[in-house]
């Protein structure tokens, strides 16, 4: 039966991360151990980066360390589309996602529920396999959820109007309210350098890498406030190149509808780790920033 299933191949294995299951598992375990004990858990949602593991793998571990797999039955993954032009959100045509740590099954019943809203398109398998923002989370999900019975709900996020951001937040809020669901929000932070067309620098904030850090920290503080309008205002003012800004705003819209969850617990979002690929000192330098966060209900 599985041979007839539409399967998404792990196209970035062997380049963005190692293709050997044994080597990959050891690498992830090392990073998770280095992240220390959980400090903001159990996570109902996490924000984590999607760059090559040699750049962002260690940072992502701080988010995944907050995941308690014991009650999770479903993992929603919201990743920005870097290649395919999508107006709104789109679902995968696949039934299985392949990883070096085993195949992950897509939750077709949830897909049918999402499709019934008529707010979701389908991406082609080619476009799905080309995109890295969801794939880079699959090995971590497979690792932290190993030996558990669960399914994934990958959602590719394209360009959104403010109205769409609010609409998707409303759609996903009911799933976020359920402690059996985990949301993975895929995002890198500032992409700085001429190749990214973004070189905001405030000299009063120190060297370039310090200016980038302050800019990102400002955004992270606003995200922690869980206000989608405040985050949108920040993005409008500084144009910070946070590639997963729309998945983040969808999460913030969903959270804003949940003043408390089914048990009466209230949401709290906290950033746990920040890193940069390089420390920029001059205009010709380039860097990408990474951040890890966890949303809990307490």
- pLDDT given at position 264: 74
> Quick check: 153 pLDDT over 70?
yes
> Quick check: 263 pLDDT over 70?
no
> Quick check: 261 pLDDT over 60?
no
Token code pair at residue 173: 């809020």
275 vs 292: CA distance, rounded Å:
9
- pLDDT given at position 113: 98
> Quick check: 3 pLDDT over 60?
no
Could you read off the pLDDT of 123-134 as tens digits, one per residue? 999 999 998 899
Could you read off the pLDDT of 208-235 as tens digits, one per residue? 999 999 999 999 999 999 999 999 999 9
The full set of domains in the chain, from first to last, is 39-297 (3.40.830.10)
List the Cα angle 191/155/122 in 5-degree steps. 115
- pLDDT given at position 1: 42
3 vs 88: CA distance, rounded Å:
31
């Amino acid at each position: 039966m599985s041979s007839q299933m539409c399967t998404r191949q792990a196209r970035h294995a062997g380049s963005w991360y190692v293709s050997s299951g044994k080597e990959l598992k050891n690498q992830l375990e090392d990073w998770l151990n280095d992240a220390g004990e959980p400090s903001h858990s159990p996570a109902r949602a996490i924000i984590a980066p999607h760059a090559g593991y040699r750049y962002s793998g260690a940072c992502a571990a701080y988010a995944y360390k907050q995941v308690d797999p014991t009650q999770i039955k479903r993992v929603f993954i919201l990743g920005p589309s870097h290649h395919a032009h999508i107006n709104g959100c789109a679902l995968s045509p696949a039934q299985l996602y392949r990883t070096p740590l085993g195949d992950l099954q897509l939750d077709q019943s949830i897909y049918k529920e999402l499709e019934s809203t008529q707010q979701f398109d389908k991406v082609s398998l080619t476009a799905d396999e080309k995109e890295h923002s969801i794939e880079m989370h699959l090995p971590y999900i497979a690792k932290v959820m190993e030996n558990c019975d669960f399914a994934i709900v990958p959602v590719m996020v394209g360009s959104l109007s403010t109205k769409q951001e609010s609409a998707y937040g409303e759609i996903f809020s009911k799933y976020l309210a359920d402690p059996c669901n985990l949301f993975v929000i895929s995002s890198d932070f500032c992409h700085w350098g001429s190749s990214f067309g973004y070189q905001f620098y405030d000299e009063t904030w120190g060297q370039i890498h310090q200016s980038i850090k302050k800019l990102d920290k400002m955004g992270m503080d606003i995200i922690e406030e869980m206000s989608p309008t405040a985050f949108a205002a920040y993005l409008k003012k500084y144009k910070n190149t946070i590639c997963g800004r729309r998945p983040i705003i969808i999460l913030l819209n969903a959270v804003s509808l949940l003043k408390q969850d089914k048990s009466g617990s209230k949401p709290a979002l906290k950033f746990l780790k920040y890193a940069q690929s390089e420390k920029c000192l001059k205009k010709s330098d380039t860097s990408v920033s990474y951040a890890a966060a966890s949303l809990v209900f307490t």
